[in-house]
Structure 1
Amino acid sequence: MCAKVTKQQPLSGVQLVTILEPTATISEQFRTIRTNIQFSQVAQKLTVIMITSAKKSEGKSTVSANLAVTWANQGQSTLLVDADLRRPTVHKTFQLSNQYGLTSLLTTDNTLDYTATMQATMVENLYVMPSGPIPPNPSELLNTSRMNQVIADLKQNFDFVIFDVPPVGVVSDAQIMGTKVDGTVLVVPQGIALKNSVVQAKAALENVHAKILGVVMNRVNSTEDKYYGGYYGSDS
């Protein structure tokens, strides 16, 4: 099933500016963020990363979806996984069914193949794995050997995988996933995120030895663009 993205889309998902306005300044910034992430770990190939934030409604899903588009536009087979099993949005953004998804894989042991849960999008090389039905125990599902196996399978079959995970400061899901992926990007909205919340989110990730690649500062005030700012490496 392919997504049908129009100028009015999405009504309940996030804005796919990299599709709707590919030549806009914002889209170019997403491409710059992609490049910076690619070169942030020159000694190690990054295949699986996760995008999170300190609190909810800070733009992590927008960053995840638009970065996935820019990666696919490079000709790399890219999978966007909705690992926010509490407030999923990816299926809404791409107007796809959420009947089957990540939770389906995690609750059926090895009886279901990942290909049964992923869906093609209108963007060449870009596939989506929705969250699937919202489970009663998201953290427990993510913290399993089955989740490890799913990630291993995806690494073997995609050039790049992005997990959209819940905020660090709300639930433990991001800390769990931070131990399983190759790197983590923290989204911080200027003028919205509280300094203490960001510091605590960074500390929570470091406590589980998650590899923080950097920060995406979004909604930055600018004369040209008032939505997205830039990417700052973990050493900044």
Structure 2
Amino acid sequence: MISFKKRNKQVKKNKTYILSNKSPFAYLEGYKSLRTNLSFLTFSGEVKTILVTSSVPNEGKSTVSINVARTLSMAGHKVLLIDADLRAPVIQKYLNVNYKITSGLSSVLASKAQIKDAIYKSPSLEMDVIFSGPIPPNAVELLSRDRAKTSIETLRKRYDYIIIDSPPAGVVTDSVVLSQHVDGVLYVVRQNHAEKELVKNAMKDLVSMEANILGIIFNDYIDERSKRKGSRDKYSYYYQSGNK
């Protein structure tokens, strides 16, 4: 299990803390430790496609997805980040990509675009990205199609790692469906946020489908031994209409 403490500095509402070489030492080292653990997993068996999920919204899974991809790309790996949250996507917003994306994952799954047309390339990001695309009325149906599996299989031949941000497993079944197409799952749990039973049930659903749980990321925790207070990170992530 990898843990990320609350940060001492106040973080503005709706701001996502994206990893860089200028990030605080402890924060950067936490992700480097996670990267090392992933490399050890690769030695025991190929782990290239990784799904990131949580139990409920606001646990920081999208930030974790971005930063896992970032720390892998910073080590020289060829990385693709996919926003597979077709209901309430935030990756484009968090990466400050302000122009309209016409082709994304939903376009590919609906056979309205080719994979190559959906890949966003930016030297400043040091990784490729496939954004969610237009929000469809049938997200789980799109993700259940054979095209989802074949697309991931095609992409894994081109990249060292593929990191997939998916909806909370305790809210919708999308992540359970996607877990069948990846090598493993990273599960984000934010301290004192989701109810224990909900976390247990969501993870049980994944395990029942034989998902490979690579590990748990304990996010935004308070180390009681340090007796230091920090401000809670704020992540805006809503599923209700009009609150995205």
Distance 2:90 2:12 in 1: 10
SS at structure 2 position matched to 1:79: strand
Provide closer, same or farther for how the CA distance between residues 100 and 116 of structure 1 changes in structure 2, counting only shifts above 3 A.
same
SS at structure 2 position matched to 1:85: coil
Residue 22, structure 1, aligned to residue 23, structure 2: yes
Residue 113, structure 1, aligned to residue 114, structure 2: yes
- Unaligned segments of structure 1, at least 5 residues: 1-8, 229-236
How much has 1:123 moved relative to structure 2?
Answer: 3.9
Provide closer, same or farther for how the CA distance between residues 199 and 158 of structure 1 changes in structure 2, counting only shifts above 3 A.
same
How much has 1:10 moved relative to structure 2?
Answer: 9.6
Q: Aligned partner of 1:49: which letter?
A: I
- The 5 A counterparts of 1:139-218 are 139-218=140-219
Provide closer, same or farther for how the CA distance between residues 10 and 142 of structure 1 changes in structure 2, counting only shifts above 3 A.
farther
Residue matched to 1:81: 82
How much has 1:24 moved relative to structure 2?
Answer: 2.8
How much has 1:185 moved relative to structure 2?
Answer: 0.7
Query: Which region of structure 1 is more displaced relative to structure 2, 34-43 or 217-226?
Result: 217-226
Contact 1:94 1:121 in 2 (8 A): no
SS at structure 1 position matched to 2:221: coil
- The 5 A counterparts of 1:43-82 are 43-82=44-83
Distance 2:160 2:38 in 1: 14
Distance 2:133 2:81 in 1: 13
How much has 1:11 moved relative to structure 2?
Answer: 8.0
SS at structure 2 position matched to 1:40: helix
Q: Give the superposed CA RMSD.
A: 2.3
Provide closer, same or farther for how the CA distance between residues 20 and 74 of structure 1 changes in structure 2, counting only shifts above 3 A.
closer
**Paired-residue identity, %:** 33
SS at structure 2 position matched to 1:52: strand
Q: Aligned partner of 2:103: which letter?
A: Y
Contact 1:190 1:217 in 2 (8 A): yes
Residue matched to 1:5: none
- The 5 A counterparts of 1:81-100 are 81-96=82-97, 97-100=100-103
Structure 1 length as normaliser, TM-score?
0.85
Contact 1:72 1:123 in 2 (8 A): no
Structure 2 length as normaliser, TM-score?
0.82
Contact 1:10 1:92 in 2 (8 A): no
> CA-to-partner distance for each residue in 1:118-158, whole Å, 9 max, x for gaps?
11234464111100000000000000111111101110111
- Unaligned segments of structure 2, at least 5 residues: 1-10, 234-244
- Which fold has the larger relative contact order, with Cα–Cα distance below 8 Å and residues 6 or more apart in sequence? 2
How much has 1:114 moved relative to structure 2?
Answer: 1.4
Provide closer, same or farther for how the CA distance between residues 95 and 143 of structure 1 changes in structure 2, counting only shifts above 3 A.
same
Pick the aligned partner of 1:104 from 103, 107, 114. Answer: 107
Distance 1:38 1:120 in 2: 25
Distance 2:117 2:70 in 1: 21
Q: What is the aligned residue count?
A: 217
Residue matched to 1:6: none
